[in-house]
């Protein structure tokens, strides 16, 4: 089970990097990132953190609570950034 969770985390991080590269290229060409690639960044990041937290909680022998807490903090930070991006996009559409 641990191996599947680890591979799932790596796959999600790979997808996150693909979205990041798409946005990097679009910003250089057009000056602004893709909304869907940006959303992909956040969603894949959130899912990767959740999988990693589950994996750490199941396998860590020392300080599993601290490691899971670190993943929870990362999840909250990514979620707040995602919400801010969505609010900014919503407010940008009203102008």
CB contact set of 82 (below 8 Å; sequence gap of 6+)? 39, 42, 43, 46
Residue of 6, 13, 1, 4 whose CA lies nearest to 52: 6
Number of domains in the chain: 1
Domain carrying residue 13:
2-94
Question: Three-state DSSP class for 73?
Answer: helix
DSSP state of 32: S
Please state the pTM of the whole predicted model: 0.87
Taking only the tens place, the pLDDT of each residue in 2-16 is 889 999 999 999 999
Q: Would you tell me how many other CB atoms lie within 10 Å of the CB of residue 53? A: 20
Taking only the tens place, the pLDDT of each residue in 29-42 is 999 999 999 999 99
Residue of 10, 42, 8 whose CA lies nearest to 23: 42
């Amino acid at each position: 089970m641990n191996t599947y969770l680890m591979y799932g985390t790596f796959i999600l991080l790979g997808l996150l990097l693909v979205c990041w590269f798409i946005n990097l290229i679009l910003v250089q060409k057009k000056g602004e990132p893709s909304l869907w690639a940006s959303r992909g960044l956040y969603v894949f990041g959130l899912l990767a953190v959740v999988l990693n937290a589950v994996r750490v909680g199941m396998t860590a022998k020392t300080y599993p609570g601290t490691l899971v807490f670190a993943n929870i903090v990362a999840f909250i930070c990514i979620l707040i950034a995602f919400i801010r991006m969505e609010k900014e996009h919503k407010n940008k559409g009203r102008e």
